[in-house]
Amino acid sequence: MIRDASGMTSRAYLSELFSLDGRVAVVTGGSSGIGRAITGALARAGASVVVVARKEAQLAATVDELTADGCRAAWVSADLSTREGVRAGAEEAAGKFGEPDILVNCAGINLRPPMGELGEEVWDTTMAVNLEAPYLLGQRFGPGMAERGYGRIIHITSQQAHRAFVQSGAYGVSKGALESLARSQAEAWSPHGVTANTLVPGFVMTPLNTRLSSDPERVAALAARTMVGRNGVAEDFAGAVVFLASGASAYVTGQSIFVDGGFSVH
């Protein structure tokens, strides 16, 4: 093991900066795609993680994989498209390992009919899952985090929070508002040790966008729009989420951090 001049090992130093040992995390949408990678990263960094989504088989598979690796994880099946579903899911989640120190709002849906055909049902469902659930979960867990003096709220937004393309519709509106929600939460709770930030993906092939993913030409065109030269993979979010969940990011709040291979900067 490498030691620095003070005799501290690099492993101890990294652990002091980033370890999530003893922390409790709740990850919505943690059973698929980006959320599943985020769940794995937080659990492997030491947190006890509760995964919240609807489909039980995927939830159980996610948790089984982590417990087999020696991590602490549990799941809650809840429908985050209704207020009652969010409330019940939050109570059940808190019952697993206690009140969370880390909340990751990753559950999201992407229904994007052409603007002229965007009806109230799509609008309402999109706002309920992508915006209202994160708001309600923040109200449920944020004040407790502030009282205990440590909290990390991390939302997953989108390029469409910043610019309209590929039929942004209600989806883009929900993600834009989610970034504003992060700033409101940051304003309220940062003085009490609770940061609120968003991670902004580029294009990541997941079940969310199977239609687009199955068109090789469009996939290649999206990869060409990045600076790195490829589309994202779910594991690209591991380092950023551990950083934002850890003590190392105490002075980072209200920010949107783009994990997009440079997609947004040219």
Ligand X SMILES: NC(=O)c1ccc[n+]([C@@H]2O[C@H](COP(=O)([O-])OP(=O)(O)OC[C@H]3O[C@@H](n4cnc5c(N)ncnc54)[C@H](OP(=O)(O)O)[C@@H]3O)[C@@H](O)[C@H]2O)c1
Min CB(49)–ligand X separation in Å: 13
A 10 A CB-CB count for 14 gives 11
Phi and psi at residue 4, to the nearest 5°: -90, -175
Least Cα distance to 186 among 131, 243, 138 occurs for 138
State which residue, 106 or 146, has the beta carbon closest to ligand X: 106
State which residue, 35 or 261, has the beta carbon closest to ligand X: 35
Give CA–CA dist 246/57, Å, rounded: 30
DSSP for 193-236, written as a single string: TEEEEEEEE--B-SGGGHHHHT-HHHHHHHHHTSSSSS-B-GGG
Min CB(109)–ligand X separation in Å: 5
Phi and psi at residue 3, to the nearest 5°: -115, 145
264 CB-near residues (< 8 Å, 6+ apart): 159, 162, 200, 202, 258
Sites of contact with ligand X (CB under 6 A): 29, 31-35, 53-55, 58, 79-81, 106-110, 129, 156, 158, 201, 203-204, 206-209
**Active-site residue (options: 13, 135, 150, 171):** 171
Min CB(189)–ligand X separation in Å: 22
| Number of residues assigned to the chain | 266
Give CA–CA dist 194/185, Å, rounded: 9
Dihedral, 161, 177, 75, 26 alpha carbons, nearest 10? 100
State which residue, 87 or 192, has the beta carbon closest to ligand X: 87
Min CB(243)–ligand X separation in Å: 18
Does the annotation count 171 as an active-site position? yes
State which residue, 99 or 235, has the beta carbon closest to ligand X: 235
Min CB(1)–ligand X separation in Å: 36
State which residue, 55 or 163, has the beta carbon closest to ligand X: 55
- CA 202 and chain centroid, separation: 14
Residues with a catalytic annotation lie at 171
